[in-house]
Amino acid sequence: MTGKRILLIVGGGIAAYKSLDLVRRLRERGLNVRVVLTEAGAQFVTPLSLASLSGQEVHQELFSLTAEARMGHIELSRDADLVVIAPATADLLAKAAHGHANDLASTLLLATDKRVLAAPSMNLRMWLHPATQRNVATLRGDGMIFVGPGDGAMACGEFGPGRMSEPLEIVAAVEAALAGDTVIPLPMAQPPVLAGLRVIVTSGPTHEPIDPVRYIANRSSGKQGHAIAQAAANAGASVVLVSGPVSVPDPAGVQTVHVETARQMLEAVEAALPADIFIGAAAVADWRVGAALVEKLKKGASGPPTLGLVENPDILATVASHARRPRLVVGFAAETEKVIDHAQAKLARKKCDLIVANDVSPATGVMGGDANTVHLVSKGGVETWPTLPKAEVAQRLIAELAALMGEGGA
């Protein structure tokens, strides 16, 4: 990793002071750091301090004739191995999501051919605002990597999500990103490989009611399933996303059907058939309470109640054996042990064409996290991918399925 080049964009926010330590930490690891300081960022840290720590000139102006003579903004955007935005303000994220290019930072983000890692920092209401969440969802779909934000006390006196990750957390994310391929191919080199096809994707958990206020669920965030739906839409498919209860925004250009329970999810999936591809990424609850209570369950002298559980419908197996079976049926296997063995057994049992298996043990951080390590299990064998951002897993999976469809299906 020594000698890798980082282009650090420092946005305007009180967390910009952390960028000074970030530069130092990156250089300690042998990374070359070139800094772009926004006009707002210069209100919090000085070009001199960043130049002293990075050992290089700090770039600020888009139309600096001196800088353009030595390194134009196109070359500057592509000279790095990874672009890092820290702090990534709501304004910078909005510009990047909508393709604005009215200053040096936004122009570099539009012109770069390398992956971008963003460390958001803003007031909690700005972070939670639907506009920001839409922008983040768009950027994830485009392949941007995110680290944070975390929860904590803010300079404005409020407490909640929006606090920029600490420098060492960002360094760890940088190292993880540099471990993979950071070059982004030209979009025009990627034709709409699923054009004219219909894809159904399930995503997120299901909530199975116990009583009016309690339910059985799991820790699925829906990030992977939503990223797959977005990638399929970007590849030209007509996409129906059947989503359980999640906090991530609906993907752009996708018909999203919101459900709560496994039975509702199956009903929505069957209503969306026929389709060419089905991708069951949802973590569907295996069981539900046989008779959910109409009133809230209360404590009593007899001790804890006994919940009579019954099996939920098997959505993946139902689709795989359906009269209107899609040409490709893809399931997910979230396991905590014997990942490959369980996935191979599931492939045979459910009669699907492909299983995407992953380890969701707490130590992996996959559940709710932004990265995933998956194994593609088929009758032909097992293909293991490196740890990748979930958006990139989605893009690679869609490319794999497009190739299978081109070969005439499974």
CA 353 to chain centre: 25
365: left (phi over 0), alpha (psi -120 to 50) or beta: left
Which residues make Cβ contacts (< 8 Å) with residue 370, sequence separation at least 6? 140, 145, 146, 147, 223, 389, 390
Closest by CA position to 9, among listed 138, 101, 119: 119
| Sequential DSSP letters for 118-153 | EEE---HHHHHSHHHHHHHHHHHHTT-EE--PEEEE
Indicate the angle between helix axes 130-141 and 90-98, nearest 10 degrees. Answer: 50
Token pair of 307 as six digits = 């919940």
Token pair of 272 as six digits = 């969306």
Give the catalytic positions in this structure. 156
Instruction: Using CB atoms within 10 Å of the CB of residue 42, give its burial: 0 to 12 exposed, 13 to 18 middle, 19+ buried.
Output: middle
CB contact at 8 A, 150 and 160: no
E strands, 57-133, are 82-88, 116-120
Cβ neighbours, 10 Å, residue 351: 14
